[in-house]
Amino acid sequence: MKIFTRVVAFVFILMSVQNVQAQLQVGLHGAYGIPTPKEEGVKNSFGGGIQARYFISPNLAAGLEASLLSSKYSEDYGWLGKYTVKVRSIPITPKVEYFFLDGPIRPYAGLKAGLYLANVSVEGKSESESSFGFAPKVGVQYKLPQNLAVFLEGDYNLILSKKAARDLGADTFGSKFVQLNLGLAYTLDL
């Protein structure tokens, strides 16, 4: 939690820097999640999300992103029967991104870090937990008319295991997945 607080403070400090040509960009995206490494029975997930970024300079942006990814599948447990499993993941992450070009095509790289909420439900009984995680990311944005832009980005999400799980021999990263986002952003000139 201490790391999360520092990341949020850093983002707010970056956002407080004044810029004559400040811009705020808000967007919606569809999301596709692929667990890594691929485990038997674990399905890819679909969802969507929202994001906002404030351009501190023409090439540096800080913002916030939230997504909802979910999957549903049936698992056969032999004589115990077949059960329906629903998995939901909700990353809520501040982010910092650097845009390499200022033309119509804008490739960028960045880092997001924050809270990852997870919920697993089997036949109506559910378990939830929250963890800290981070994700390096790369993407490209293509400017359209009327302050619109379409973007495609990929994140490699690394979710840290709880200390109790690590004490029992679990990996430092309890869960890993690639998240691909395709969306539309609108830029507001402030």
DSSP per residue over the chain, as a string?
A: -HHHHHHHHHHHHHHHS--TT-EEEEEEEEEEEEESS--TTPPPEEEEEEEEEEESSSSEEEEEEEEEEEEEEEEE-GGG-EEEEEEEEEEEEEEEEEES--SSEEEEEEEEEEEEEEEEEETTEEEEEEEEEEEEEEEEEEE-STTEEEEEEEEEEEEEPPHHHHHTT--SEEEEEEEEEEEEEEEEE-
Domains of the chain: which residue ranges?
2-189
Q: What is the pLDDT of residues 93-139, one digit of tens each?
A: 999 999 999 889 999 999 999 999 988 888 878 888 888 999 999 99
Instruction: Output the CATH code of domain 2-189.
Output: 2.40.160.20
Global pTM reads: 0.80
Q: What is the pLDDT of residues 138-168, one digit of tens each?
A: 999 999 999 999 999 999 999 887 664 455 4
